Amino acid sequence: MGLFSDIFGTNQNSSPPPHRYQPQHNASPPTPHKDPKYQNSPSRPPQRPLYISVRWGRNEPVDLPLASVQQYRQCTVHDIKLHCKALFHIPLATMTLKYNNGFLRDDQATLESLGILPGSELVVLGDQVLEEQAQQLASGNEEEVGQITRIRQIMKDPLAINLDTATEESLAVASEIIMRALLALDGIECAHSFTTARQERRQAVQFCQSLLDRVDALKYQQQQQKL
């Protein structure tokens, strides 16, 4: 035996003791997302929180939990509004949501399609309905109060139209205002039990149609004067 054999008790050609580390060239290193010992490692990407925050006025934001990623993908603007109605007592008819200074106008759009990720905060705009206001109506429903408020908001511009000194340009603007109001009124669906809201909506539509007839008549007169 040679010198190395005498010292280590083995020859140079023998395999190393089993306790020694032997590199495995064909084995791939463990990956953080598969190896259990990496589960709590800082290198593992954090899970995105499954909730949407909503804030109304100066109140603290409220987190609306999402049960799963699938629920997030199916969640629409209308779904969030329903939660906000229950939380803040703001009717759907007068409620508006904002995200990053932009208004969310399409109630059927999903949060995912709008680029609103879990953990985002939405701002809720609208006035609360007091219980006393709802009790003054036959339905006693706060949503009817909201619809009445919305109808009156829509009618502000048509009621401000003055046809006494109408010009061709002002008549064109008036037509646009009236058509926009009629379109908005058409989007308000009053429940059968909302008798007051239904009556106000009917009167508003009749006023706009009558005003539009006057505008069309004045347009016709101006065209005849040019002949």
Q: Where in the sequence is the domain holding 74, given as residue range(s)?
A: 51-125
99 and 171 co-located in one domain: no
In a domain, 24, yes or no: no
For 103, the 3-state DSSP assignment is strand
Contact 145, 153 (CB under 8 A): no
Interatomic CA distance for residues 8 and 180, integer angstroms: 96
pLDDT at 17: 47
Q: Which helix (H) or strand (E) holds 65?
A: strand 62-65
> Average model confidence (pLDDT) for the chain?
84
| 171 in the same domain as 209 | yes
* Continuous H helices in 9-92: 69-74, 77-88
| Residue 130 or 41, more confident | 130
Beta pairing partners, 55? 123
Domain-embedded: residue 15: no
State pLDDT tens for residues 10-67.
444 444 444 444 445 455 544 444 444 444 445 555 565 689 999 999 989 999 998 8
Shared domain check, 181 and 137: yes
pLDDT digits (tens, 9 = 90+) for 202-211: 999 999 999 9
Question: Could you tell me if residue 178 is inside a domain?
Answer: yes
